[in-house]
Structure 1
Amino acid sequence: MSGTPARPSPRALARQRRRLALSGFWRRYRRHRAGLLGLAGLVLFVLLALAAPLLVAPGDLSVTRAPHDAYQPPAPAHPLGTDNFGRSLLDLVVWGSRVSLTVGFLATLVSVGLGTLVGITAGHYRGVAGAVLMRVTDWFLVLPTLVLAVALATVLSRSTLTIVIAIGITAWPTTARLVRAQTLAVEARPYIERSRALGGGHTHIMLRHVLPNVLPLVLAQTTLLVASSIIAESTLAFLGLGDPGTVSWGGTLQDARRAGAVSSGVWWYLLPPGAAIALVALSFTLCGRAVEGALDPRSREGR
């Protein structure tokens, strides 16, 4: 009949379900005030990193053409003081946010991607292949993460890519364990058996059924791992294993240690990069906890 409204297409229904899911997630996330505070801090740091080339001139970061005198305490001309070369600590913190956040995001991407791949594969193939993958995961899990990262960063060339690889390779076992447990729970559901009965292969089941169901867990794990990755990058840079040609928060702390800022009482050399590391790690942690709470099925009961 001409008066019957047209039924929406499957693609339109899928888009509508995604919009409803996103709006429901944001509604639950907004109930976590700490999560909103962490999100505001995270947005501030990201905007600061993106605007760094507009706020800091490359010449202000030069150790030979620094615009100020060395070891100057905070003043209107340099609100956070200057380092041993006469560079403004505010400029170093702003520019260092680019490297620290980039390494944090990329290392987390490597870690979560590898952990998700291993976890889904080990949970789906429960025979010899799954057992071997989990024994390898257990081996990485018991190794001291910092020692392994230091060893990799020492063997490879000193660069930002090396730091990303070192952190990503050492931080994936926890994600693999969590994803494997979730994969086992998903594959125990009846619709997986129906999919197999209808001819669904291994790739189809893992990509179309398992992966969408483990993505919420992966998202929550990602927000928590970024904070750990940023702290790990700062630690490696502080140990002198970062790229000496780049400015990062950990590298600034390493320069302060070498310059004897602790024994000289130059507190403003240590406080700004240390506070930046603590604040961005706290922001990601608050966001991660809020995401975890918003994705918890128990938070939807009675709503």
Structure 2
Amino acid sequence: MQLLDKNTWGTEKKLFVTGVIILSFFAVVALLAPIIAPHDPYERVGIPFSSPGGNHLLGTNDLGQDIFSELVFGSRVSITLGILTAAIAVSIGCIVGILAGYFRGKGEELLMRFTDLILVIPFLPLIIVVAAYLGAGFFNLIIVMGLVTWPATARVIRSQVIKVSQKEYIIALQALGASTPYILRKHIIWEILPFLVYRFMLTASYAILIEASLSFLGLGTPLSKSWGTILYYAQVRNAILTDAWLWWIIPPGLCIALLSVSFLLLGFYVEARINPRLGR
């Protein structure tokens, strides 16, 4: 692997550290949510549309619920959703990519044509249709996003598996009679692992943005306190027409952006390490 030059490596390291700090901050908030949040996010604890101050750091919504508490507990939903969605998408993409890239033949053609079919369908409309069909629900939303975000991972993994399987030591192992499970487990998986990490980070970032979009459209999980749901209720209850948008819309919007960016920064770091030409 060609090393990055000193200046590029310094930049990549700063981006990596920034991503780790942001993600760690939200992870700590999510873990300590019951301690950090001053109120129960589902309870009415103040006057509706109260401005920030006093016992309500970010004011209250139209029901008198504490927005800061909603924001704190929303970190749990968004992080969990991003990680689980990425795990499903990367797992499916990895399996399809390995099957298509290592075994080749007609099976590869069928798998890749199916992958291409999903890729050419408009992304967000497909998710909206499937989400509307399965119905609202936290795990339904995760499954839907996982099932429609794996094709990009499959294409990346397939190309890398083809590249690795053509290396001399892999051909030598095949000639010596090494079993396919052994080659995949001991060599192929380890070679493509950095690409799986990279795709995991990017998919988690996209999942957080998709959940916010679906929740804003009313296709999320209305009973949960995700950041997207907070934006949805702010929109349908006319927060934009009052000063409440300053503390009801901006904070969750910033949290969504920061958490998504943290995953992207980590993904870009991994990508730069496995492909130094991108750094230059």
List 4+ stretches of structure 1 deviating above 6 A. Answer: none
2:99 alignment partner, one of 112, 121, 135: 121
The 5-angstrom pairing of residues 169-184 of structure 1 reads 169-184=147-162
Match of 1:135 in 2: 113
RMSD (Å) for aligned C-alpha atoms: 1.9
Identity of aligned residues (%): 35
Q: How does 1:216-231 map to 2 (within 5 A)?
A: 216-231=194-209
Residue equivalent to 2:30 = 49
TM-score (norm 2): 0.91
SS at match of 1:61: coil
1-side partners of 2:264 and 2:44: how far apart? 36
Q: Provide the C-alpha distance between the structure 1 equivalents of 2:143 and 2:109, rounded to a whole number of angstroms.
A: 25
CA distance in 2 between counterparts of 1:241 and 1:73 reads 29
Supply the distance in 2 between the matched residues of 1:245 and 1:157 (Cα, whole angstroms). Answer: 13
Q: Go from structure 1 to structure 2 and tell me whether the alpha carbon gap of 1:200 and 1:30 turns closer, same or farther (over 3 Å shift).
A: farther
Secondary structure at 1:77 match in 2? coil
Q: How many residues align?
A: 270
- Counterpart contact for 2:31–2:76, Cα < 8 Å: yes
Shift of the 72–103 alpha-carbon distance from structure 1 to 2, 3 Å rule, reads same
Residue type at the aligned position of 2:19 = G
Could you give the per-residue CA deviations for residues 195-241 of structure 1, whole angstroms, max 9, x where no partner exists?
11111233222222211100011111211211111111111111112
Question: Does structure 2 conserve the Cα–Cα contact (< 8 Å) formed by 1:183 and 1:214?
Answer: yes
Instruction: Specify which of 134, 143, 150 is matched with residue 165 of structure 1.
Output: 143
Distance 1:70 1:157 in 2: 30
Which of 259, 265, 273 aligns to 1:286? It is 265
- Segments of structure 1 that go 5 or more residues without pairing to the other structure are 1-27
How far apart are the structure 1 equivalents of 2:80 and 2:15? 24
For residues 236 and 52 of structure 1, the distance between their equivalents in structure 2, rounded to whole angstroms, comes to: 24
Kindly report which structure 2 residues correspond to 1:197-236, keeping only aligned pairs within 5 A, or say none: 197-236=175-214
- Structure 2, unaligned stretches of length 5 or more? 1-8
- Assess if the C-alpha contact under 8 Å between 2:136 and 2:220 holds in 1: yes
Q: How does 1:1-303 map onto structure 2 within 5 Å? A: 32-56=13-37, 60-62=40-42, 65-267=43-245, 268-296=247-275
Distance 2:34 2:219 in 1: 25
In structure 1, what residue type is equivalent to 2:273? A
Match of 2:6 in 1: none
Counterparts of 1:120 and 1:154 in 2: how far apart (Å)?
32
Equivalent pair of 1:38/1:282 in contact (CA under 8 Å)? yes
Please tell me whether Structure 1 or Structure 2 has the larger radius of gyration of its CA atoms: 1
CA separation of 1:215/1:247 partners in 2, compared to 1, >3 Å: closer, same or farther?
Answer: same
Which moved further from structure 2: 108-117 or 265-274? 265-274
